[in-house]
Structure 1
Amino acid sequence: MHLFLKSNFAVLGALIVLMMLNSCGSRKEMVYLQPDSSNVNTIYEQFVPKIQPNDILTIVVSAPDPKVVAPFTSISVNAAGSPGQNVDLALRPTYTVDSEGYVILPMLGKIKLAGMTRLEAIAYIRKELEAYINNPSVNINFNNFRVSVLGEVAKPGSFIIPTERLSVLEALGMAGDMTIRGVRSNVLLVREINGQKTIHRLDLTKQETLNSPYYYMAQNDVLYVEPNKTQINNSKLGSNASIAISIAGLLITIISLVTR
């Protein structure tokens, strides 16, 4: 009888060990950007986000003489202050890019900015202003550069970014990084290009991902980290898992007492 119980105890113990090993991820599955033969030559300028319809832009025009600038901005002369002063964010004029990619600026009228980078748009508007203002200065910022990080991360959610330069790893960092249950080799990125949703997969365990055109994020990108098989299986078990573990623990205790 004791031999039978000991045999079952050994089998039960082996099963528990196997379950624990199965739930553990290997280093290959967990470590980001593992070295390989790839040459890292990511150039951010190749992947700078472009202005899109429905973007909300802050466009501030300034010049040495604020009175000259007044007709070209919705900020009052007094609010604009001197060129060395920062304009309060609440006073900065915002413009929504329409469905055709245009914004309407004071005096300049309807200007198409969609498809340009922020720096290209600054240079374009500055050139248009030079016909009216000597040495004009233009600053443009995205007001709605928002990305969402969902799935197996510590703090999923949407984040508004003060700059358009944001990598996938930085976005994950803002969300508290992936949990140990996240699949690092198959991260999903959803991006809208010319009104169409596109889907891209990133293997963050490989160094070659640094060269991906999707390594840097664009406005309204959604990053999704899927759960690994262990997490999926655990979710299927639900509350039954805790009951099974409790029963297994009780059986181990009883067998230990009987076989003493």
Structure 2
Amino acid sequence: MLSEIKIHLVAVLRTNKSYLKIVKPLKKPIPCYVLVMLIALLFSSCYSTKRYQYFQDITDSTYGSIPIKNYDFSLKFMPLDEININVISAIPALAAPFNITNTIAVSGFSGNSGSVSGTQPPTASITNPISTSSFRVNAEGNIDYPFIGVLAVQGKTVKQLKDTLTDILRKRFVKDATVEVRLSNPMVTVMGEVSKAGRVSLPNEKTSIIDAILASGDFTRFSNRSDVIVFRETDGKKVPHHVDLRKSDVFESEYYYLRQNDIVFVKPNKDKEFLNDPYSGSIANYIYMLAGIIGAYYIFKR
């Protein structure tokens, strides 16, 4: 409760900077009437909760009519991504060479054999015909797939890679091949003014910036909802993009849905800046303590 009062006082002082002009030049003790005035201001000021609301421009008349642009939100493969590929066939022995147990990286793919020679398939146990092969996308944006060779995957979606592999496998190796492709554990980083900063998994391709923030414990009271920054990798560079979560047009932004390796940075608001300022922060502390002393004095005086 006391911390709530202190934070409230900081906000009041920030929004009423004229008081700082009065207090700053005083070299004598602050008169009692000034303290009483500040205490009254503390408990009587209306501290709006609107600043903590999402989508502040939505009214009753706009419900159900918010436009959503049809951006391509599909996750696209990037260098260093881990891709899981599973090949299924009615004859497990035919699919087994393409489903290697993930133990040792061999010639660009994972296998349970220390070497691969010629065109002989790597050894694989068919007791688990749906084991999954894991492939790391190299710096050039390629993977080395057994018996097929180098495949360029950077910029491709899961569906595109699935269709490519299915077409090649059915034509050359396994006529009834069914291919499953999955991006292994895509994640984003959420940092700044959230309750629990850290790495957040993307459970599906339509994971929004709001989903990630809520997974991080939501905003703190010091968060700047009007300027959340999404850093997205483009052509080898992290490019910042600004998102205003107070407005409903965020649904029209191509950065509403996140991609793997995005960084979401929630900036602090002016209350946090005010509180961290040595001068203004010390004023708030002194007034807070003096208010407590005066309150205790009048209580015991009775």
Q: Does 1:155 align with 2:199?
A: no
Q: Does 1:33 align with 2:60?
A: no
| Aligned twin of 1:72 | 98
- Compute the displacement of 1:48 (Å): 1.6
Structure 1 residues 41, 70: closer, same or farther in 2, change over 3 A?
same
TM-score by length of 2: 0.71
Structure 1 residues 49, 14: closer, same or farther in 2, change over 3 A?
farther
Q: CA RMSD in A?
A: 2.8
Provide Cα deviations, 1:213-259, integer angstroms capped at 9, x if missing partner. 0000010111111111112211234677545421332145447878x
Name the SS of the counterpart of 2:233 in structure 1. Answer: strand
Distance 2:140 2:39 in 1: 61
TM-score by length of 1: 0.82
Q: Does 1:248 align with 2:291?
A: yes
Q: Does 1:94 align with 2:151?
A: no
Structure 1 residues 73, 213: closer, same or farther in 2, change over 3 A?
same
1:133-212 paired onto structure 2 within 5 Å? 133-212=174-253
Distance 1:165 1:79 in 2: 35
| Aligned twin of 2:154 | 114
Q: Does 1:125 align with 2:151?
A: no
Distance 1:151 1:23 in 2: 27
- Asked which structure has the greater RCO (Cα within 8 Å, sep 6+), the reply is 1
Name the SS of the counterpart of 2:35 in structure 1. Answer: helix
Q: Give the AA of the match of 2:138.
A: D
- Compute the displacement of 1:179 (Å): 1.4
Structure 1 residues 52, 20: closer, same or farther in 2, change over 3 A?
farther
Name the SS of the counterpart of 1:126 in structure 2. Answer: helix
| Aligned twin of 2:87 | 61
Which consecutive residues of structure 1, in runs of 5 or more, have no partner in the other structure? 1-6, 82-86
| Aligned twin of 2:257 | 216
Name the SS of the counterpart of 2:195 in structure 1. Answer: coil
Provide Cα deviations, 1:192-223, integer angstroms capped at 9, x if missing partner. 11211100010001110001000000101111
Q: Does 1:12 align with 2:38?
A: no
| Aligned twin of 1:3 | none
- Compute the displacement of 1:17 (Å): 4.8
Structure 1 residues 136, 214: closer, same or farther in 2, change over 3 A?
same
Superposition misfits of 4+ residues, deviation over 6 angstroms: 20-23, 255-258
Task: Please say if residues 191 and 264 of structure 2, whose CA atoms lie closer than 8 Å, have aligned partners that are also in contact.
Answer: yes
Distance 2:150 2:273 in 1: 52
Aligned residue pairs total 243
Provide Cα deviations, 1:60-108, integer angstroms capped at 9, x if missing partner. 1111111111232314343434xxxxx4xxx522111111111011111
Which consecutive residues of structure 2, in runs of 5 or more, have no partner in the other structure? 1-29, 102-123
Q: Give the AA of the match of 1:213.
A: E
Task: Please say if residues 55 and 144 of structure 1, whose CA atoms lie closer than 8 Å, have aligned partners that are also in contact.
Answer: no
| Aligned twin of 1:105 | 145
Structure 1 residues 251, 137: closer, same or farther in 2, change over 3 A?
same
Task: Please say if residues 73 and 205 of structure 2, whose CA atoms lie closer than 8 Å, have aligned partners that are also in contact.
Answer: no
Structure 1 residues 242, 23: closer, same or farther in 2, change over 3 A?
farther
Task: Please say if residues 142 and 162 of structure 1, whose CA atoms lie closer than 8 Å, have aligned partners that are also in contact.
Answer: no
- Identical columns (%): 29
Distance 1:16 1:67 in 2: 80
Structure 1 residues 257, 69: closer, same or farther in 2, change over 3 A?
closer
Q: Give the AA of the match of 1:249.
A: G
Query: Is 131-140 or 18-27 further displaced after alignment?
Result: 18-27
- Compute the displacement of 1:163 (Å): 2.8
Task: Please say if residues 151 and 226 of structure 1, whose CA atoms lie closer than 8 Å, have aligned partners that are also in contact.
Answer: yes
Structure 1 residues 167, 79: closer, same or farther in 2, change over 3 A?
farther
- Compute the displacement of 1:166 (Å): 1.0
- Compute the displacement of 1:42 (Å): 3.6
